[in-house]
Structure 1
Amino acid sequence: MSEVLRAEGVDLVRDGRPILREVSLTVRAGEHWALLGANGAGKSTLLGLLGAVTHPSRGTVEVLGSRLGRVDLRELRAQVGHVNPRHPLSSPLTVRDVVLTGVTNSIELLPRWRPSPEQEERVEALTATLGLAALRDARWPTLSQGQRGRTLIARALMPEPRLLLLDEPATGLDLPGREQLIEALEELRSARPRLATVLVTHHLEELPSGTTHAVLLRDGRVLASGPVDEVLTGDQIGKCFDLPLTLQRHDGRWSVRIRRTA
């Protein structure tokens, strides 16, 4: 399968403080990665590198075949779907219009810009896939957090990216909202089998059953990386979060609890 992302020996230093150290990771088309770790482990920082938001201090990062430092980051970012639940929208745009801003990679609709008939059809298809067909004319302030999350995924998919990055997409969601978001991701993965995804979280319960690979970060270093069955074990997760944990999987979904000691 073709490589979508490759990071090799990556360090990132800010204000003299190491944030990431010797991180290596390869993501291929059709793979769905979970990026797990405690708060401050470096998850969102690593996602920023993979999304061509910033450069590494040392090492190399290649995104969609382009090496950071040799390509215009703005052009590269336009080819990557990036879902941030803290999307800074203040205008009461409709769901349709928010999704269309994914074409122009802007927060608001650009003046005098008009979508093509093909782009309008794509909005229809994506909102249907993500369970938003009945909400296309609903305005952003009226949406629940879960509806906003699914709208932002549709927005990120408008440019037809090969890579989708999700930075804690279940932030602020209640239980129904979380489950609807996870179901939408499962539907998306069935509809787009070549799409690669990287999902950042520190809650294993938020991982879709279609997750294929995982990387565990602790203190800016990779603790474990590879297929989920090898990486997501009670011992590995316990080391990652520095707790004695028991991990269970049922119908493809994970749950975790503290292991009781005698």
Structure 2
Amino acid sequence: MLELKDVDFVRDGKLLLGGVSLTVGEGERWALLGPNGAGKSTLLGLCGAIAHPTRGTVEILGRRLGTVDIRTLRESIGHVNPRHPLRSPLSIVDIVLTGLTGTIELMPRWQATPAQRARALELIDLLGISALASSSWTTLSQGERGRALIARALISDPSLLLLDEPSTGLDVAAREQLLETLDQINASHPHLAWVLVTHHLEELPTCTTHAALLHEGRVLAAGPAYDVLTTDLVSQAFNHPIHITHQSGRWTATAQPGTRPH
């Protein structure tokens, strides 16, 4: 689904990513974690064909950046950004349909087919917001917006889903509803691969299979989540002693006194 080899990314003379290699397979659900400035958003931009590497190679769904039509490639990638810049009062149905055109607003003279509209309603129901299908974007809570954006990302039947801090701005109840939704999506789309960016281990769904820790633009560790999300490695990534527990499929991180990591 996704393969980065020895990737460097330089912007304005500053190295934001250095020597990054990462492979995401079909059906794997990756968490990408690290402190502010570690390079998470930059890496996600490469995964979404939004940016190109300065050095190294990025292959998305078997196609290498720099050798393919970016617009066509992006049609196979679902991207969920809670800072979605929509300003007009589109209904949830119309918001989901914009996922078919890859636009923020509805395209002039573009008309959804009955089958496409039916698919939008199916996804809205799957995400648990069918009662709000006709509601305006401007009236939705942050949690409702997040679920609408996930439905929008799924309507093109992507092979790869990218979630950029989807819990941003959510209270505890809305966060838990979102995580339950992600577990439901895993059950209904078992072959879908995804990469979820977050600062907080508590925001990982139980279906998370793999994790990568970024530190100062480099991958500190990557692999099965249970092997990567450990007290030692997370403490190194965040440069602070953090105790990690894993219970009932969920991770918890708590600061602990002690010697700072090497």
Q: TM-score, normalised by structure 2?
A: 0.97
Q: In structure 1, what residue type is equivalent to 2:48?
A: G
Which of 37, 48, 66 aligns to 1:69? It is 66
Which structure 1 residue ranges, 4+ long, deviate > 6 Å from structure 2? none
The letter of the residue matching 2:135 is A
1:111-139 residue CA offsets vs partner (Å, 9 max, x unmatched): 22111122112111111111111110011
Aligned to 1:55: 52
For 2:75, the equivalent position in structure 1 comes to 78
Question: Which position in structure 2 is the counterpart of 1:29?
Answer: 26
Aligned pair partner of 2:252 in 245, 251, 255 = 255
The CA deviation at 1:260 is: 3.0
Match of 2:240 in 1: 243
Residue 97 of structure 2 corresponds to 100
SS in 1 for 2:117: helix
Q: Structure 2 residue aligned with 1:232, among 192, 210, 229?
A: 229
**Is 233-242 or 112-121 further displaced after alignment?**
112-121
C-alpha separation in 2, matches of 1:126 and 1:224: 35
After TM superposition, give the deviation of residue 249 of structure 1 in Å.
Answer: 1.2
Measure, in 2, the Cα distance between the counterparts of 1:242 and 1:154: 36
Q: Once the two structures are superposed, what CA deviation does each residue of 1:127-152 show, in whole Å capped at 9, x if it has no partner? A: 11111111100110110000000000
Is the counterpart of residue 177 in structure 1 residue 180 in structure 2? no
Percent sequence identity over aligned pairs: 58
* One-letter amino acid of the counterpart of residue 18, structure 2: R
Q: Quick one: which amino acid aligns to residue 216 of structure 2?
A: D
> Match of 2:208, SS?
coil
Deviation, 1:250, is 1.5
State the match for 1:166 in structure 2: 163
SS at match of 1:118: helix
Which of 141-150 and 107-116 deviates more?
107-116
Aligned-pair distance for 1:85?
A: 0.6
Q: Secondary structure at the match of 1:243?
A: coil
Aligned-pair Cα RMSD in Å: 0.9
Gaps of 5+ in 1: none
Unaligned runs of 5+ in 2: none
Give the TM-score normalised by the residue count of structure 1.
0.97
- Kindly indicate whether residue 151 of structure 2 is the aligned counterpart of residue 191 of structure 1: no
Match of 2:129 among 122, 132, 145: 132
One-letter amino acid of the counterpart of residue 79, structure 1: S
Higher mean C-alpha deviation, range 216-225 or range 241-250: 241-250
Matches within 5 A, 1:103-122: 103-122=100-119
CA distance in 1, matches of 2:108, 2:48: 27
